C-alpha cells in the first residue's frame, strides 16, 4: 500500500497570535533573564516548548464546561462529575482534588512518610522528591540502568529494577519504606514508559512486604499508548482499558492534571483506602481547600472531568499527540542530532552532554544549550540536567545526574507540523555551531528548586 499521511483528529476554531522577534531582541531578553529560560517573558518566545504542563489547548466541550461549573463552596456538582470521571478512568474510589500535582504530592508525602523513611522511585522528579524530603524521607532511585543511557533503545526505560528494590528493602527493612513512588512515562528519563509486566511485578513484590505502590499517573495516558504499541498482548486493547489496568496495580496515585488531562490547572490525589483518604482530607482542608473543591474552582473541576473523559474517548487523541512528538524526533534523528532514544511521549530530549562535549557538567551544558537555542529562533526549551538536579541536602554538593538534557516539551493540540519543522531546523543550525557555545556560571543560586529562579552569566 502507498504511504498514507495522518493528521490531527481536530480542527482549529480560535487562534492566538505569536510575536516574531529579531536576534537582537532575543539577545537582550535572554541576558535580562539571566540565561534561564524560566525567567523569559512569554511574549519574547516564538515557539514555547518550555513545558507540556498546563499549556494544552482545551476543546470546545471543555470550554463549554467552564460556563457550567458549579461554584458551590460545598458539594459542588462539578466535584461529583470529577469523582465519576476519575473512578471510571483511573479506577480509584477516593478523590482528593488539589490545585496541581505538587499539592497532591505534598499531602501524600505528609500522610505516609515519617522522619528517616526511604522512598524508592523510578528516577526523581523535582517537586516529588522535594516533598518526600520535606516530609523527612529520602528518595532512592531504583529505575533500570538503561534509563540513564540516552542511546539505549530499551522499549521500557521507565521500568523499576526489582533487584535494586529488593536491595533497598533488605537494607532498610520494609517498615521504613512507606511506599514505592512509581512514575508513569518517566519525565526526566525522556518521557519513557514502564511495561505492564513491570507494573504488575512491582505491585506483587510490594504486596508481599506490605508496601504501598503510589503511582505518579501524570502521564499514564502516554504510558498506556506505548504499552499498546510495544508490549505483547496489548495491541488489540483500547487505551482506556490499558490505563485502567496500569492503575489496578497500585493503591493510589498523584496526578498533575496539567498534562494528560488537557486542562491548564488542577490535579488530584486518588486512593482506594477510605482511611488514607480521611487523613488526606484532614490536610487538604488546611493546605488547599474544603474536600469537595480542594485547590480548584467549580469550573476548573468541570473542565477537568471533561478532559479526563476526552483523553480516552478514542485512541486517536493520544496517537496524534505522541505522533507529533515522534515526527519531530525522527527529523532530528535523521539529521544526526544526539537525542534520548526511543523518542518519548511528551517531548524531545537533546543530549546536551554529547552535543556540547567540550563543556564539563559544572559549566551547565544543558542550561547553555537551552539559551543558545532560544537565541537562534526563539524556541524555548528547559534544562533537565545538573541545574534541575539541585544539591544533595546532606553534603551540599551538586547532584550529578548522568543525563544532561535539554527538553523540548510539546504542548497538546497547540502547535502544527510546520512549527515542528521550524524547531527541527533551529536545532540543526545550533548543532552546526555547537563548538562556539560557552558554559555558564551562577550569579544567583536559590537554595530550593534552584532551576526555577537561578541566574547565570556566560563564562569567558
C-alpha–C-alpha distance, residues 101 and 83, integer Å? 17
Stretch that binds ligand PLI, among 2-10, 95-103, 222-230, 235-243 (CB under 6 A): 95-103
SS3 per residue for 385-421: CHHHHCECCCCCCECCCCCCEEEEECCCCCCCHHHHH
Contact 265, 45 (CB under 8 A): no
Considering the complex, state which of residue 324 and residue 439 has its C-beta at the smaller distance from ligand PLI. 324
C-alpha–C-alpha distance, residues 335 and 330, integer Å? 9
Long-range CB contacts for residues 60-64, cutoff 8 Å, separation at least 24: 60/13, 61/306, 61/310, 62/262, 62/263, 62/303, 62/306, 62/307, 62/310, 63/303
Terminal Cα distance for the chain, rounded: 57
Considering the complex, state which of residue 53 and residue 89 has its C-beta at the smaller distance from ligand PLI. 53
Known catalytic residue at 259: yes
Which residue of the set 79, 124, 125, 234 is catalytic? 125
- Quick note: the x/- pattern for ligand PLI over 42-81, rule CB under 6 A, is ---------x-x----------------------------
Stretch that binds ligand PLI, among 100-108, 109-117, 142-150, 284-292 (CB under 6 A): 100-108
C-alpha–C-alpha distance, residues 215 and 213, integer Å? 6
Known catalytic residue at 314: no
Q: What percent helix, strand, coil does the chain show, rounded to 5?
A: 45, 15, 40
By CB under 6 A, the residues from 244 to 283 that bind ligand PLI are 256, 258, 267
CB of 249 to ligand PLI, least distance (A): 18
By CB under 6 A, the residues from 325 to 364 that bind ligand PLI are none
**183, 222, 288, 383: which one binds ligand PLI (CB under 6 A):** 183
CB of 3 to ligand PLI, least distance (A): 33
Which residue of the set 384, 407, 412, 413 is catalytic? 384
Considering the complex, state which of residue 35 and residue 451 has its C-beta at the smaller distance from ligand PLI. 451
CB of 216 to ligand PLI, least distance (A): 5
Buried b (16+ CB within 10 A) or exposed e, 276-303: bbebbbebbeeebbbbbbbbbbbbbbbb
CB of 345 to ligand PLI, least distance (A): 11
C-alpha–C-alpha distance, residues 176 and 161, integer Å? 19
Known catalytic residue at 216: yes
Interface with ligand PLI includes 101 (CB under 6 A)?
yes
C-alpha–C-alpha distance, residues 354 and 135, integer Å? 36
Q: Tell me how crowded residue 196 is: count the other CB atoms within 10 A of its CB.
A: 22
Known catalytic residue at 126: yes
CB of 259 to ligand PLI, least distance (A): 7
Which residue of the set 216, 260, 300, 351 is catalytic? 216
Contact 48, 380 (CB under 8 A): yes
Interface with ligand PLI includes 216 (CB under 6 A)?
yes
CB of 75 to ligand PLI, least distance (A): 25
Q: Classify strands 267-271 and 252-256 as parallel, antiparallel or unpaired.
A: antiparallel
**125, 139, 249, 374: which one binds ligand PLI (CB under 6 A):** 125
Considering the complex, state which of residue 132 and residue 187 has its C-beta at the smaller distance from ligand PLI. 187
Contact 113, 130 (CB under 8 A): no
Known catalytic residue at 451: yes
Interface with ligand PLI includes 159 (CB under 6 A)?
no
Q: Which three cell numbers stand for residue 357?
A: 562535549
Known catalytic residue at 226: no
C-alpha–C-alpha distance, residues 261 and 264, integer Å? 9
Interface with ligand PLI includes 451 (CB under 6 A)?
no
Interface with ligand PLI includes 198 (CB under 6 A)?
no
C-alpha–C-alpha distance, residues 442 and 460, integer Å? 13
CB of 183 to ligand PLI, least distance (A): 5
Considering the complex, state which of residue 118 and residue 186 has its C-beta at the smaller distance from ligand PLI. 186
Of all residues in this chain, which one has the CB nearest to ligand PLI in the complex? 101
Candidates 111, 102, 158; CA nearest to 137 is: 111
Cell match 519525565: residue? 187
Stretch that binds ligand PLI, among 72-80, 123-131, 314-322, 353-361 (CB under 6 A): 123-131
Active-site amino acid positions: 73, 125-126, 216, 259, 384, 451
For binding to ligand PLI (CB under 6 A), which residues are involved?
51, 53, 100-102, 125, 127-128, 183, 187, 216, 218, 256, 258, 267
Amino acid at each position: 500500500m502507498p504511504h498514507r499521511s495522518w493528521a490531527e483528529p481536530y480542527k482549529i476554531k480560535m487562534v492566538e497570535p505569536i510575536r516574531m522577534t529579531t536576534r537582537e531582541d532575543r539577545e537582550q531578553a535572554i541576558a535580562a533573564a539571566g540565561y534561564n529560560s524560566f525567567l523569559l517573558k512569554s511574549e519574547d518566545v516564538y515557539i514555547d516548548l518550555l513545558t507540556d504542563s498546563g499549556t494544552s489547548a482545551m476543546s470546545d466541550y471543555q470550554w463549554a464546561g467552564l460556563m457550567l461549573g458549579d461554584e458551590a463552596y460545598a458539594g459542588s456538582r462539578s466535584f461529583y462529575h470529577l469523582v465519576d470521571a476519575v473512578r471510571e478512568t483511573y479506577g480509584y474510589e477516593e478523590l482528593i482534588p488539589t490545585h496541581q500535582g505538587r499539592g497532591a504530592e505534598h499531602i501524600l508525602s505528609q500522610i505516609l512518610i515519617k522522619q528517616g523513611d526511604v522512598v524508592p522511585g523510578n528516577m526523581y522528579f523535582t517537586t516529588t522528591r522535594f516533598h518526600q524530603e520535606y516530609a523527612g524521607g529520602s528518595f532512592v532511585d531504583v529505575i533500570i540502568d538503561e534509563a540513564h543511557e540516552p542511546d539505549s533503545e530499551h522499549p521500557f526505560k521507565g521500568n523499576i529494577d526489582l533487584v535494586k528494590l529488593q536491595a533497598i528493602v533488605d537494607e532498610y527493612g520494609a517498615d521504613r519504606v512507606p511506599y514505592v513512588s512509581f512514575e508513569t512515562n518517566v519525565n526526566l528519563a525522556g518521557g519513557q514508559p514502564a511495561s505492564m509486566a513491570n507494573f504488575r511485578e512491582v505491585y506483587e513484590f510490594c504486596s508481599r512486604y506490605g508496601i504501598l505502590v503510589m503511582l505518579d499517573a501524570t502521564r499514564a495516558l502516554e504510558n498506556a499508548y506505548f504499552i499498546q504499541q510495544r508490549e505483547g498482548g496489548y495491541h488489540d486493547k483500547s487505551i482506556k482499558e490499558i490505563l485502567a489496568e496500569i492503575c489496578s496495580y497500585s493503591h493510589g496515585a498523584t496526578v498533575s492534571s496539567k498534562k494528560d488531562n488537557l486542562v491548564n490547572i488542577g490535579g488530584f490525589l486518588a486512593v482506594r483506602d477510605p482511611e488514607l483518604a480521611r487523613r488526606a482530607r484532614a490536610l487538604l482542608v488546611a493546605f488547599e481547600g474544603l474536600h469537595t473543591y480542594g485547590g480548584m474552582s467549580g469550573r476548573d473541576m468541570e473542565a477537568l472531568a471533561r478532559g479526563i473523559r476526552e483523553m480516552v474517548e478514542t485512541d486517536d487523541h493520544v496517537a496524534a499527540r505522541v505522533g507529533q512528538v515522534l515526527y519531530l524526533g525522527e527529523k532530528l534523528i535523521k539529521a544526526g542530532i544526539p537525542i534520548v532514544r526511543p523518542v518519548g511521549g511528551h517531548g524531545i530530549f537533546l543530549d546536551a552532554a554529547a552535543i556540547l562535549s567540550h563543556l564539563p557538567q559544572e559549566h551547565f551544558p544543558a542550561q547553555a544549550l537551552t539559551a543558545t537555542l532560544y537565541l537562534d529562533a526563539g524556541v524555548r526549551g528547559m534544562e533537565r540536567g545538573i541545574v534541575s538536579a539541585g544539591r544533595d541536602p546532606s553534603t551540599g554538593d551538586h547532584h550529578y545526574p548522568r543525563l544532561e538534557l535539554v527538553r523540548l516539551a510539546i504542548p497538546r493540540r497547540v502547535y502544527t507540523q510546520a512549527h515542528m519543522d521550524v524547531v527541527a531546523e533551529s536545532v540543526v543550525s545550533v548543532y552546526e555551531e555547537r563548538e562556539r557555545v560557552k558554559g555558564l556560571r551562577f550569579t544567583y543560586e536559590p537554595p530550593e528548586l534552584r532551576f526555577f529562579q537561578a541566574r547565570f552569566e556566560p563564562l569567558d
